[in-house]
Amino acid sequence: MTDAFQENTLRKGSGRGPADQFEGHRRYLTGLAYRMLGSLAEAEDAVQEAYIRWHRTERTRVESPRAFLSRVVTRICLDQMKSARAKRETYVGPWLPEPVLDAETMGAETASDYATDLSVGLMLALERLSPLERAAFLLHDVFDVGFEEVARLLGRNEATCRQLAARGRAHVRESRSRFPVQPDKGSEILQAFMTAYRTGKVDSLASILTEDAVLYTDGGGKRRAALNPINGRAKILALVAGLARKRADPLVDLRPAIINGLPGCVATLASGDLLTIALEIADDKIEAVYVVGNPDKLKHVAEP
């Protein structure tokens, strides 16, 4: 079902109640909110708040439910981003977005190059934009909203929104891998990484790490994690080998998973704690490893 057909159906109402009308837009709104906030839990809260406001709205006066709800969710997210940025300044160690295992459910129903891209690298690039740059870029370049509507959503003039989106686009392009890995090769590289992580034998891993690879560990001050990124192949190999030799919390299970659309895995430790590990791969080599152990970010990750 296309966006235009779906929107036309919902605009007419088709005899459906407000809850049914809203549900037709939930996926779209959750995808928008997650990209704005970097947290699935916070995105769902924002969408739920929009749901409440939708019920309180005089809906017969709403010409386009999707545009109205987009405006509501965008403004809720912009408000949340003010407090989120303050929290990030005191965050313990590297901050990573909340991992998503089913990224396809939040894909934008557009032809955008970024429609299905929820990679950690992209999310970190978005994090470095100003809130308005992030919103303008996402609305226009990802969700295919025209600048006239973007201007209404953000309360800015159209020329300003074009400039905001252009700045966001330029930064994202600089940060994005040019040659994403093919699925089969990604699986092969992931298996080599998992073997090294499980056994500490890093010989095969050495050949698939770029020399300037970076490993980020997000424990949020609640789980053991490096307080700074681990830079360089040699340091990453030493860390992986050392972890296998002297794990304080032994590894009991390691299963492949797609994390934010990237090859990755979910580790279960003897304590019951979970870790997600995602690999950013370009030119058939790992250029970044993203490890999330903060339990607040893993509530949506089910144990095997």
* pTM score above 0.75: yes
The answer to whether residue 101 scores a pLDDT higher than 80 is yes
- DSSP string computed for 189-255: HHHHHHHHHHH---HHHHTTEEEEEEEEEE-TTTS---SS-EESHHHHHHHHHHHHHS-SS-EEEEE
pLDDT of 262 higher than 90: yes
Nearest 5°: the CA angle 116, 122, 127 is 125
Q: What is the per-residue pLDDT for 73? A: 96
The domains of the chain are located at: 3-175, 183-297
The DSSP bridge partners found for residue 265 are: 256, 277
Residue 4 has pLDDT above 50, yes or no: no
Please write the tens of the pLDDT for every residue from 117-176: 999 999 999 999 999 999 999 999 999 999 999 999 999 999 999 999 999 999 999 877
Looking at every residue in the chain, the average pLDDT score rounds to: 89
Tokens of 1: 């079902």
220: left (phi over 0), alpha (psi -120 to 50) or beta: left
pLDDT in tens, 167-210: 999 999 987 766 677 888 999 999 999 999 999 999 989 999 99
The answer regarding whether domain 183-297 maps to CATH 3.10.450.50 reads yes
User: Based on C-alpha coordinates, what's the Rg of the chain?
Assistant: 21
Select from 28, 41, 48 the least CA-distant residue to 109.
28
